Structure 1
Amino acid sequence: MPGKTADELAIRELTAGFNHLGSRKRNSELAATFVENGVFVARDKRFEGRSAIEACFDPQQLGAPVNIGFGVTGRLGTTVHATTDNLIIVEGDEATQLSFMVVFRQVPREVVSGGLVIATERFEDRLVRTDDGWLFDPRIMTVLQTNAAPDSSLQQVGVVESPLE
């Protein structure tokens, strides 16, 4: 089915774009991957609307970047994402996606021995087809595992109740 394949590819590209835009601190464009009143849930916090989503990716909101000896590093710009196992179900102009992500993030050595946080995350997404293509609403992130110290700013978040279930 060419339509189904094209929809799934577009959703995968949207997901990859979300990751790249976040890593490059292009918060306005990242927020535009959501419908106007879209919802992003992460770290047990709910951000509703594009302006709130944009603000949640502000480096000051996530913890100020730090210099660990080779330039300013911090939460987003020092992150590599690998999204995998996307399970996409398209039903007309709506879709759901379940995916997993492995995240590698450079941090101060005081946060984690060796200065590298590794986390696994689950994303539960609902998407809608719009005139601008597929967009998220909502996107729910749950950290499954991390080597970050529980008392650090990168602590593991609790399980978030999913509106998709």
Structure 2
Amino acid sequence: MDPTADKLAILELVAAYGDAVNRRDGAAWIGCWAEDAVWCIRDRRIEGSAAILQTWETAMAGYADVHFFSHLGRLSVTEDTASGRVYTQEFLRTTDGDRRTQIGEYDDLFARRGGSWVFTARSFRIRDTV
């Protein structure tokens, strides 16, 4: 495969993920994940796309507004798998009106499935909250 095309496709995946968060589009968001994906967030490990989507929808219900921005900091592609790090900045307003800015990072694993790149594992860490 073409390494440049693979990197572009992964960049597009990261962008599609962020766009889905900002639009609160669960179908588009979970479409970025493999069915057998793993999401590690805080002290939780969620396995499988159905459980991942349910967890995300429950979390998103607590926010009136979410503005999610991300950029890919590192990417290594080998054939049909890749690893990378994505840095995030989120501007959040809860349904109670509380506001905070959250800075975080994902350590990611990607795979080409059915000709498209998807997340197979995402491990999120909060780096700072303001």
Task: Give the TM-score normalised by structure 2.
Answer: 0.87
In structure 2, the CA distance between the partners of 1:85 and 1:26, relative to structure 1 (3 Å rule), is closer
Distance in 2 between residues matched to 1:7 and 1:145, nearest whole Å: 31
Higher helix share: 2
Fraction of identical pairs, as percent: 23
Other structure's SS at 2:50 match: helix
5 Å-filtered alignment, 1:16-165, equals 16-58=15-57, 61-62=58-59, 64-65=61-62, 74=63, 78-107=65-94, 108-109=96-97, 111=98, 116-147=99-130
Say what the alpha-carbon RMSD is for the aligned residues. Answer: 2.0
Distance in 2 between residues matched to 1:46 and 1:64, nearest whole Å: 20
Distance in 2 between residues matched to 1:21 and 1:57, nearest whole Å: 12
In structure 2, the CA distance between the partners of 1:85 and 1:34, relative to structure 1 (3 Å rule), is closer
4+ residue runs of structure 1 moved beyond 6 angstroms?
none
* Structure with max Cα Rg: 1
* Count of residues in correspondence between the two structures: 129
Other structure's SS at 1:22 match: helix
**Which residue is equivalent to 2:2?**
3
In structure 2, the CA distance between the partners of 1:63 and 1:102, relative to structure 1 (3 Å rule), is closer
What's the offset of the Cα at 1:29? 2.6
Task: Give the TM-score normalised by structure 1.
Answer: 0.70
In structure 2, the CA distance between the partners of 1:141 and 1:126, relative to structure 1 (3 Å rule), is same
**Which residue is equivalent to 1:69?**
none
What's the offset of the Cα at 1:28? 2.6
Unaligned ranges ≥5, structure 1: 66-73, 148-165
> Could you report, residue by residue, the CA deviation over 1:83-121 in whole angstroms, capped at 9, with x for unpaired residues?
125211001111001121111112345x4xxxx311110
Determine which structure has greater relative contact order: mean sequence separation of CA pairs < 8 Å that are 6+ residues apart, divided by chain length: 2
Contact 2:40 2:46 in 1 (8 A): yes
> Could you report, residue by residue, the CA deviation over 1:32-67 in whole angstroms, capped at 9, with x for unpaired residues?
211111111113222111111110121xx22744xx
Unaligned ranges ≥5, structure 2: none
Distance in 1 between residues matched to 2:77 and 2:41, nearest whole Å: 24
Higher strand share: 2
